[in-house]
Each structure stands twice: as C-alpha cells, then as structure tokens.
Amino acid sequence: MRRDAPAATVEIVPHSNARFPSNFLWGTATAAYQVEGGNTNTDWWRFEHRPESIAAEPCGDACDSWHRWEEDLDLAASFGLNAYRFSLEWSRIEPRHGEIDLEALEHYRNMLVACVARGLAPVVTLHHFTLPLWVADAGGFESPDIVTWMSAYATTVAAAFGELIAMACTINEPNIVAAMGYLAAMFPPEVSDWDRFVAVNETLRQCHHAMRDALHAGPGDFPVGMTLSMAQYEAVDGAEAALATYLEQMEDRYLVATTEDDFLGVQCYTKHQFGPDGLIWGGEGELTAMGYPFWPESVAYTLRRAAAYTPVPLVVTENGIGTDDDDQRIRYLDQALAHLDEVRRDGVDVRGYFQWSLLDNFEWVLGYAPKFGLVAVDRTNFTRTAKPSAAWFAAAVTERREKRR
Ligand code: BGC
C-alpha cells in the first residue's frame, strides 16, 4: 500500500464560471447515511423501522464513520488517491426548519480540513437520498417550498466552509430519487405513479439549479454539478418506444439541463434490458451481488452517451461492483479503468474517477448484504480491513498518476 501519497497539489485552472482542479481526480466515494450511522432524523430511518418495511434491515450504526472518519480518510490517502467524495447529512445540519446545528457544521468542516491535509481534494455531495423528517413531513420533493429549502441549505453549506470545497455535487442521482421513490415505490415515500415521477424529476432539476446558483454565490470558487445514474439500456420485445420515453425521464432531460453547470457526475454500474412492462432486473451471463449484469463496459458507454448530450466536463463520480468475491471486483475495476482510459484517449473530457466505495456499507433497501467496499468493515466492532482490491486499485491509480494520465 502506498503510504507516501503525493501532497495536496491540486492545481486550479479557470473553467467557465468556476474553477476546476487541473489534475485528474482519483478517489473513492461514500455517502453520509450509508457510513455515518445514527441518522435517526431522516425519512430513511423511519422507512426502515416501520414493521411492514421492505428494507432488508435497518441502517443502525452503519460503519460508525461519524466517529471513525479520520481512519477512513487515512485509508483513502494510503491508497495514493488525491480526492475523496463524501456527503453531508442535511438532517444533521438543519435538524428542524431554520435551525442550524453548528456542531454538525464544525464536524464537516473538520473533515474538509483533514482531507486537504492528507492531499485529498474534498468533493462534497449535499444531498444523497435522505431527507430530514421535517422536509419529508412537509411533502418532500412534492412540497411547494422544496426548491427554496434546498437552496437555503446550499447557502448555509457555502457560508460554513465553501472556501475548503474542491468540488460540489448538489443532488446525488436525482433520477434514482424519483424512480425509486415515485415509480418503483422502493424508496421513501414509496409511491408508484408515472405523473408524479415526471413532476418530481422536474422539481429535482429546479432544486439542482437553485442549489448550484447558491453555491456559486460563494464563499469559495469551486465547480458545481449534479451526479446522474446512467446505464447501458437495451430494448427487448419491441419496447424501443417505451424505452425512449423512460430514458427521456431518466437521462435525457437531465443531461440537457447540465449545460450551465461546471461538470456532470456520471455514475454507472451495469446494463439493463427494458421490455414492454418496463425495466427487467437481472439478465443472462455473469451477475453481481446486486442481481444485475457484470458490465464494466458501462463506463465507456455512459461517458460517450453523456458527452453526446452535454458539453460540460464529465467526472465518473461512482463506479464499482457489489460482490463477495474480491477477485471479481479486481476484474471489474481492471476492465472499467481500461474503458475509462479508452474514452479519454478518444478525447472525451473526463476529469476524474471515483470508485464506489471506500467501505462495505449500507446498501439501502438491500441492507449490508452487497459489498461494494475496497475495505471490509466488521459489523460488530467496525474494524476496517483493506481487501486485496484496495492494493490493486492503489497500484492502478499510482501507475496512471505517474504517467499523468
Ligand atoms: C448510489 C449509492 C449506491 C450505489 C450502489 C448508487 O446508485 O449513489 O448510494 O450505494 O449506487 O448501488
């Protein structure tokens, strides 16, 4: 494992209306709810604890990263990375409407300072799937005030530590928030209604734009974008038109809404078939623990598709595999990075790659079963143990950083 990680020389060059690190960003990613533990004041916590919940198990203490975050950052730095993506928990920062928790802000500020001290450019996501209970109870993404509230939250974040942020993601996978929450009924608020799905997608784009503008107002001068879940879709049994309608909601309208942003975060894992009745989970051939195909080709496919729709720089803000077999993870990452190299050689403007995830963590409705981490976490005492894939990833990144690729 590389312990002498290169120092924090993230050179800054102007890009459009914000500033972009000139070094390619190599990182891993996590999200607050999935690793911190104890985020009781959220719609997700309530959803998991209902007796009839479809969630496999409650999140509980997750990886206890609320207390062990320094160890997490040490691990990320020890892999020779130069960036770390993590999210802020809105419900901790603003536990009740208009009430700001200064200790929570201090906690995240300390994390940002510690990232920079370790040579990790802090890439901060403001919303990663969870809502504070006061927002959920007021209608969540269907509340007439949601755009105002998210924009005010972004202003609070920038004021607290904007000068330390290297890059900000407003909303993580708004299309998954809408699809799982309002179409598949598998995330809170467990709705299945096409029209509400379409309306929430539109609202999420408005939230994103309002948050972007709030963050651009400073303090700080960092690139701002959203992250989008993308996949390689294939129509079967004559479902071409149905797939086009679905993709328009899931990807196309989001992609064209990014043209005034500083970047787009592309998050890709797999491919899906789409039939007359909608998305077909699973498929033939090798599958991952998520039950969908082993498909590292999705990296090249989704980056090229994104670049065809938007002129802004792209960052792979998530890519990885849920598996119990660490050799399978290495095989996946090896191929994924080869696809990344290939699209960059072809001139697609990609500025970073973040492996999902640093730790084995809480995989939403599936609980702790799928293992995405480079690092295993003992579920009884939270001891972290780097897997062979961590050393493999460190070497792959170091080789590319040395060649300045
Ligand atoms: C999400 C993560 C999730 C990962 C793996 C992405 O959709 O942003 O929170 O853990 O995929 O399923």
Alpha-carbon distances, residue 89 vs 47, 66, 131, 180, 222 (angstroms): 17, 11, 8, 20, 20
Verify whether ligand 1 is closer than 6 Å to residue 355 (CB atom): no
Distance 380 CA to ligand 1 centre (A): 23
**Phi, psi for 64 (deg, rounded to 5):** 55, 30
Confidence at residue 381, expressed as pLDDT on a 0 to 100 scale: 98
Q: Work out the average pLDDT over 393-403.
A: 94
Question: Residue 56: helix, strand or coil by DSSP?
Answer: coil
Percent of the chain residues topping a pLDDT of 70? 95
Confidence at residue 20, expressed as pLDDT on a 0 to 100 scale: 67
Residue 342 lies in a domain: yes
Place of tokens 């998530």: 318
For the chain, the first-to-last Cα distance in angstroms comes to: 20
Distance 13 CA to ligand 1 centre (A): 30
Confidence at residue 405, expressed as pLDDT on a 0 to 100 scale: 65
- Counting the structural domains of the chain, the total is 1
Closest CA to 50 of 360, 365, 290, 362: 365
DSSP H helix total and E strand total for the chain: 14, 13
Question: Residue 352: helix, strand or coil by DSSP?
Answer: strand
Distance 14 CA to ligand 1 centre (A): 31
The strand pair at 375-377 and 350-356 is best described as unpaired
Place of tokens 């996590």: 30
Give CA–CA dist 144/203, Å, rounded: 9
Q: How far is CA 152 from the centre of its chain?
A: 21
Residue 210 lies in a domain: yes
pLDDT at 293 > cutoff 60 = yes
Verify whether ligand 1 is closer than 6 Å to residue 191 (CB atom): no
Ligand 1 pocket test, candidate residues 33, 292, 318, 365, most atoms within 8 A of CB: 318
Tell me the pLDDT of the chain averaged across its residues: 94
Residue 194 lies in a domain: yes
pLDDT at 3 > cutoff 60 = no
pLDDT at 4 > cutoff 60 = no
Closest CA to 86 of 40, 49, 120: 120
Residue 19 lies in a domain: no
> And the tokens for 153?
């939250």
Residue 4 lies in a domain: no
Residue 111 lies in a domain: yes
Question: Residue 65: helix, strand or coil by DSSP?
Answer: helix
Q: Work out the average pLDDT over 252-279.
A: 96
> And the tokens for 296?
């590292």
Q: Work out the average pLDDT over 277-301.
A: 95
Distance 16 CA to ligand 1 centre (A): 29
Verify whether ligand 1 is closer than 6 Å to residue 363 (CB atom): yes
Q: What residue type is 162 in one-letter code?
A: G
pLDDT at 125 > cutoff 60 = yes
Distance 310 CA to ligand 1 centre (A): 23
Q: Work out the average pLDDT over 215-229.
A: 95
Verify whether ligand 1 is closer than 6 Å to residue 173 (CB atom): yes
Ligand 1, atom 3, lies closest to the CA of 363
> And the tokens for 1?
């494992």
> And the tokens for 190?
């467990």
Verify whether ligand 1 is closer than 6 Å to residue 261 (CB atom): no
pLDDT at 390 > cutoff 60 = yes
pLDDT digits (tens, 9 = 90+) for 164-190: 999 999 999 999 999 999 999 999 999
Verify whether ligand 1 is closer than 6 Å to residue 89 (CB atom): no
Give CA–CA dist 91/33, Å, rounded: 10
Ligand 1 atom nearest the C-alpha of 357 is 10
pLDDT at 9 > cutoff 90 = no
pLDDT digits (tens, 9 = 90+) for 92-120: 999 999 999 999 999 999 999 999 999 99
Residue 206 lies in a domain: yes
Question: Residue 167: helix, strand or coil by DSSP?
Answer: strand
Alpha-carbon distances, residue 49 vs 31, 38, 42, 57 (angstroms): 20, 13, 11, 8
Place of tokens 């539109």: 202
- Say if residues 328 and 319 touch (Cβ distance below 8 Å): no
Verify whether ligand 1 is closer than 6 Å to residue 356 (CB atom): yes
Ligand 1, atom 12, lies closest to the CA of 363
pLDDT at 46 > cutoff 80 = yes
Residue 2 lies in a domain: no
Distance 127 CA to ligand 1 centre (A): 13
Confidence at residue 66, expressed as pLDDT on a 0 to 100 scale: 98
Closest CA to 33 of 46, 21, 17: 46
Q: Work out the average pLDDT over 337-353.
A: 97
A 10 A CB-CB count for 291 gives 13
Verify whether ligand 1 is closer than 6 Å to residue 229 (CB atom): yes
Ligand 1 atom nearest the C-alpha of 372 is 5
Range of 373's domain?
25-402
CATH number at residue 152: 3.20.20.80
